[in-house]
């Protein structure tokens, strides 16, 4: 499937769903932009999800990351394309067209409850 993002005034494409991409997306929607976040991994959060503590405060990394992940996934003006990659970008400043390849998940994301039965 190739969703094509084009000609949407006030829309921003954020490439990468790590903590930086998540925070950028949240900041952009606060400034009234529509945000499309694309990440090649099946879930956003990336490396920070694997950390125990963060430097220099020694805070729990998931305590910082989890609320941001939840907020970005529930926000009405953020569309997340996880497990996807950008295949083509064309156009010029203010008028870009982006083709995105969504990799198959073999699970219906709309009805998934995260129970893990399909993994078995």
pLDDT digits over 36-72, tens only? 999 999 889 988 888 888 888 888 999 999 999 999 9
pTM (predicted TM-score): 0.84
3-class secondary-structure state, position 87? strand
- Residue 46 tokens read as 């990336």
Q: For the residues 98-103, what does the mean pLDDT come to?
A: 93
Which domains are delineated in the chain?
A: 4-119 (3.50.50.60)
Give the angle subtended at the CA of 68 by the CAs of 83 and 27, to the nearest 5°: 95
């993994």: which residue's tokens? 119
3-class secondary-structure state, position 47? helix
């Amino acid at each position: 499937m190739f969703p094509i993002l084009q000609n949407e005034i006030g829309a921003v494409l954020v490439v990468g769903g790590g903590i930086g991409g998540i925070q950028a997306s949240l900041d952009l929607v606060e400034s009234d932009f529509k945000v499309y976040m694309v990440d090649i991994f099946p879930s956003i959060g990336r490396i920070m999800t694997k950390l125990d503590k963060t430097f220099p405060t020694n805070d729990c990394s998931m305590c910082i990351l989890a609320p941001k992940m939840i907020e970005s996934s529930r926000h009405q003006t953020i569309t997340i394309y996880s497990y996807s990659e950008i295949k083509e970008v064309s156009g010029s400043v203010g008028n870009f067209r982006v083709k995105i390849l969504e990799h198959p998940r073999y699970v219906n994301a709309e009805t998934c409850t995260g129970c893990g039965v399909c993994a078995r």
